[in-house]
Structure 1
Amino acid sequence: MIDSYLSRTRIAYFSMEIALRSEMRTYSGGLGVLAGDTVRSAADLEMPMVFVTLASRQGYLRQEIDAKGQQIDHADPWEPDDWATPLPDAMAVTIEGRNVWVRPWLYEWVSPRGYKVPVIMLDTHVDENDLHDRGITHRLYGGDDAYRLKQEILLGIGGEQVLRALGFKIETYHLNEGHAALLPLALLRRGDDIEAVRRRCVFTTHTPVEAGHDRFSYEQVAHILGEFLDIDQIKALAGDDLLNMTRLALNLSSYVNGVSLRHAETTRQMFPGHRIHAVTNGVHARQWTHPAFARLFHDTAPDWDVRPEALARVIHLSDEAVWRAHEEAKGDLIALAQEAARQSLDPALPIIGFARRMTGYKRAGLLLSDWSRLMEIHHLFPFQIVMAGKAHPRDEGGKQLIHEITAQAHHARIPIAFIPNYQMDLAKIIVAGSDIWLNTPLPPLEASGTSGMKAALNGVLNFSTLDGWWLEGCEEGITGWGIGQEGSPDDHARILYDKLENTILPFYCKNRSGWIGMMKHAIAKIGPVFNTQRMMRAYASEAYLLHVKDATDQSLLTGE
């Protein structure tokens, strides 16, 4: 089964999480969803790629909201053999002096034109391992630092060994975030010198938050990894005090990029002396477009799903057709709010949508921070709120934020629906059915953000902090509205309330034609640019082709 991929595959993309479908709990949030959209576009463009991730049999987190409005964490198990095929070539990785066996599973993503892209999922749940080691690939981002380091050893070192055992001849390795930064060490161990390793590695960093860069003590690394490489050599590449996975990847990659123009600037400041490119993230248009809009787009631009640049033609659609599609998408969200949150919403009133990972810098509570002011605005222009998001099991601040939001939702006179257990299928409904998409991260901590891109594909207007991708996508009053053109972050709540009261909600209520015109501009201006087809072509031309020997294969760039 794997043989058909070996001769044509030259690029390997490593990511701790990849969101392929809701039933496969191999993702936690934006990083995994981006990786899943990357798989989809790689298949659409017929790129010579293989993807590597962990099986994560227990998933990341199934969120329950109890009667007190508090998040309860549960495992979210799934069975790989329901969706993937086990491969016979198991490999052993040495961890704490033991052989830990890794079994690969194959999942095949098939494009509408029939091109297949392989995804290899690594699994230590095999009889040859002791009970402790069988659980290393069970829980995504679970456990303590030692557990996390073992997972990153399996992804980077084990993943490279598995690809080699399966017969892949990889020329370029793409490390999606620092979790796979040990992979270049495996190449060094095989005899490549540092410059040769750098030429083969591409690194995308997603984290402008200092605490988000994984660090491990060298004592712990020596204990778990053993004599895989000389610790002194690793210190020269990853830092003297702690093994910084981001710094290691930076020093062992020839091409490094942030995921928006702003994020690249932030990363250059965090890691001076490194050349940091910018490839702004995108989303997979076909994946995130509501069926009603997909039908509409197909009638106007039949190739929009593989060539999202064709969405520029949407500007010529009739107002009536666009609004009918929006009403269908909004109806699905209203049904979801009733079923999942027992909250009745009015289709005639605007819905403000907010769905993000619940953590401090995302500022999910900013909209609700001045309740009296929000009630005054609601009295003038009634609106509704839909929110969703999970807090990491160890993020007590994020859990407290969820508790505060759900408490307000329970007692408020403003209809607020908090949708529990946010995941891919729910996200598709929420981003498509809202009227206004709110995003309020604290600048410059939003690396890119992609939920607003998904919303825009469905004509939902963004109202967001000017950070990440929205700095590039915002045309004030045309594609949406920005928060933060003036003043400091302390002014963001005031700006948010002022624009809601004086600009956005009156516009929705009093100028339906103008609102629909903005919806069309959002689709036609954002959709053709902020998509993973454009993103992958950028990686192909700016990063991958630096390492590809046979540049005559135009499928890498054109998908033909």
Structure 2
Amino acid sequence: MDNFIGSKKRKIAYFSMEIGLRCGMPTYSGGLGILAGDTIRASADLGLPFIAVTLINKRGYFIQKLDSEGRQTEHPHNWDPSDYMQSLPYEVTVNIQGKEVKVRSWLYVHHSLTEETVPVLFLDTDIEGNSVEDRQITDSLYGGDRRYRLKQEIILGIGGVRMLRKLGCSIQKYHMNEGHSSLLTLELLKENDMNASKVKELCVFTTHTPIESGHDVFSHDLVRELVSQNSDFEILKKYGGEHQLNMTLLGLNLSNYVNGVAKRHRQISEKMFPGYKFSSITNGVHSYTWVGPHMKELYNKYLPCWANEPELLVRARSIPDNEILKAHRKAKKDLLDYVNKECGTNMDCDTLTIGFARRVTEYKRPTLIFSDLNRLRKVNEAGKIQLIFSGKAHPRDLMGKLLIERIYGYMRELKGEIEIAYIENYNMDISMKLVSGVDVWLNTPKKPLEASGTSGMKAAHNGVVNFSVLDGWWIEGCVEGITGYSIGPKLEADKTPEQVEMMELDDLYYKLEYIMIPTYYKRKDEWAKMMSNSIEMLSYYFNSHRMMLHYVTEAYL
């Protein structure tokens, strides 16, 4: 165990509420957790002195079941941590609501192709001696009410720092991946004689969302009840907000380096939190993880060493276009065989296939493409299309659930005209099939609510063409008609939201009907060139190796 933790070597502690490492470990819900997993993979590849801290979530996020009408029900995703990691013989305690709650940890070790490792600590309160209620604190990711959520964040932030101390780690930087772990600053203040300047030197804070509800806020009454000690409450009030505890504000006030996850997101974050200076490090994805097996084979042949040096993907033009098309067709067949089996559809490899998969919530607008069915039918007359959807709605997101039902309604309405599938229980394995197997990756968030968006980066790594609203990373990645296509206007300062949406809709249907479909069906060489450009011009840059090197030089050193 000591060999893997390497207590004296681990200098950077990365805290995240969710981390997606393996499909069988349901310790993630979506983009934030998958990004955390890619961060760990890249850090191991690069030999960074990293250790990560998260919660065990023994009941997972949830298993999604959809009935014939698209109605979602949620079921616990129980799993056994001992199948993947070992329990460590150490305990710490954290005071919650006047009681000492015991915390232990599980050790998962990520092994890189470079033979380097990154240990991940999964905190667990399911220990004999804790009350039934306290044993359940680390059960469910994003489960329960506000009280449950604050308890989880106390365990993650305060319990995480104490566990690192127990293991003998001498941490020089604490990286908070969103505000869920911001309470670690309270523990660091106590360790450093309440010297805020010292704590700021230790802390890095990354925010991932321009959505107001994505920033955790807790009432002072609840904080006072759970934190118990009045001195702790006053500290949190000073740094986390006079009227309520804002976890993002707490992280901002006690970190010397704070950043958004795309250049546009930096600007939005500074508007959300006036007076705070943000940097930006655009997200990336772990190239080797998110390239499908058929493209991997191609890259291995033409770009040796690309797995550990993904910047070599800039040489993708050396790969013959016909071989890119051939490898992609194999990935497409794998996907469509799976979809036809799971969903009872009759999709075929010769039809332009459009994919849309992500967390289902209103601002991501998964039903935008169905806004004008007559226009969509015209698109399909110009050249056949088929659509594949996947994604979970949060159990309390009633509008998200309704959107899934609406997609099912459109499936029925367009039956016999356009093949449409919805794959239930979206996870890492399904994501891998989709981002490597579709022809077009569709992304239609309401601007400016997409902080970054990494699924499109995964698609680009597989030569899949992006078709997206100009928000998040796509502002930086889109070269119109070269790396993919944009949806809607670049500038909309003088337009109402309704006007912007109408322009986006018109652009979406127009480009599909008059540009993308003719290119896909009649000018295959141009389409293949765009696939090659996606790899060459996007993948070489939008990867987690580049991202982590930026964190090292800008935030950690």
TM-score range, shorter chain: over 0.9
What are the ranges of 5 or more consecutive residues in structure 1 without an aligned counterpart?
Answer: 546-560
Instruction: Spell out the pairing of 1:3-402 with structure 2 (5 A cutoff).
Output: 4=4, 5-190=6-191, 191-227=193-229, 229-402=231-404
* 2:440 pairs with 1:428: no
SS of the residue aligned with 2:65?
strand
Q: TM-score, normalised by structure 2?
A: 0.97
Distance 1:536 1:232 in 2: 36
Computed over aligned residues only, the root mean square deviation of the Cα atoms, in angstroms, reads 1.0
Q: TM-score, normalised by structure 1?
A: 0.96
Once the two structures are overlaid, the 10-residue window that deviates more, 94-103 or 174-183, is 94-103
What does the per-residue CA deviation read over 1:77-103, in whole Å, with 9 as the maximum and x for residues that have no partner?
Answer: 111111010001111111111111111
Return the offset for 1:192. 4.5
What does the per-residue CA deviation read over 1:194-242, in whole Å, with 9 as the maximum and x for residues that have no partner?
Answer: 0000000000000101121100011100101111744333222111111
What does the per-residue CA deviation read over 1:318-373, in whole Å, with 9 as the maximum and x for residues that have no partner?
Answer: 12211110011101110121122111211001100000110000000101111111
Given that 1:73 and 1:393 are in contact with CA atoms closer than 8 Å, whether structure 2 keeps it comes out as yes
Once the two structures are overlaid, the 10-residue window that deviates more, 231-240 or 368-377, is 231-240
Q: Report the equivalent of 2:497.
A: none
Given that 2:186 and 2:235 are in contact with CA atoms closer than 8 Å, whether structure 1 keeps it comes out as no
Given that 1:288 and 1:428 are in contact with CA atoms closer than 8 Å, whether structure 2 keeps it comes out as yes
Q: Report the equivalent of 2:496.
A: none
Distance 1:494 1:2 in 2: 59
Q: Report the equivalent of 1:479.
A: 483
SS of the residue aligned with 2:89?
coil
Q: Report the equivalent of 1:557.
A: none
Once the two structures are overlaid, the 10-residue window that deviates more, 482-491 or 32-41, is 482-491
Q: Report the equivalent of 1:554.
A: none
Distance 2:285 2:194 in 1: 35
Given that 1:341 and 1:420 are in contact with CA atoms closer than 8 Å, whether structure 2 keeps it comes out as no
SS of the residue aligned with 1:88?
strand
Which residue identity does 2:278 align to in structure 1? I
Given that 1:185 and 1:229 are in contact with CA atoms closer than 8 Å, whether structure 2 keeps it comes out as no
What does the per-residue CA deviation read over 1:12-64, in whole Å, with 9 as the maximum and x for residues that have no partner?
Answer: 00000000000001000000000000010000000001000000000001111
Return the offset for 1:479. 0.3
Distance 1:506 1:185 in 2: 59
SS of the residue aligned with 1:332?
helix
What does the per-residue CA deviation read over 1:136-195, in whole Å, with 9 as the maximum and x for residues that have no partner?
Answer: 000000000000000000000000001101111111000000000100111112224000
Q: Report the equivalent of 2:495.
A: none
What does the per-residue CA deviation read over 1:476-506, in whole Å, with 9 as the maximum and x for residues that have no partner?
Answer: 0000000122552342111111111111111
Which residue identity does 1:492 align to in structure 2? E
Q: Which residue, out of 508, 526, 529, partners 1:517?
A: 529
Given that 1:353 and 1:385 are in contact with CA atoms closer than 8 Å, whether structure 2 keeps it comes out as yes
SS of the residue aligned with 1:175?
strand
Q: Report the equivalent of 1:494.
A: 506
Given that 1:189 and 1:229 are in contact with CA atoms closer than 8 Å, whether structure 2 keeps it comes out as no
Q: Report the equivalent of 1:466.
A: 470
Distance 1:383 1:491 in 2: 22
Evaluate the alpha carbon distance shift between residue 302 and residue 187 of structure 1 in structure 2; reply closer, same or farther with a 3 A threshold. Answer: same
Given that 2:382 and 2:517 are in contact with CA atoms closer than 8 Å, whether structure 1 keeps it comes out as no
* 2:452 pairs with 1:448: yes
What are the ranges of 5 or more consecutive residues in structure 2 without an aligned counterpart?
Answer: 493-499
Distance 2:68 2:12 in 1: 49
SS of the residue aligned with 1:90?
strand
Aligned residues: 545
Evaluate the alpha carbon distance shift between residue 230 and residue 129 of structure 1 in structure 2; reply closer, same or farther with a 3 A threshold. Answer: closer
What does the per-residue CA deviation read over 1:416-464, in whole Å, with 9 as the maximum and x for residues that have no partner?
Answer: 0101000000000001000000000011000000000000011000000
Q: Report the equivalent of 1:537.
A: 549
SS of the residue aligned with 1:449?
coil
Given that 2:16 and 2:36 are in contact with CA atoms closer than 8 Å, whether structure 1 keeps it comes out as yes
Return the offset for 1:409. 1.6
Q: Report the equivalent of 1:2.
A: 2
Distance 1:409 1:262 in 2: 35
Large movers: runs of 4+ above 3 Å? none
Distance 1:107 1:10 in 2: 18
Distance 1:3 1:332 in 2: 40
Distance 1:260 1:490 in 2: 26
Which residue identity does 1:49 align to in structure 2? F
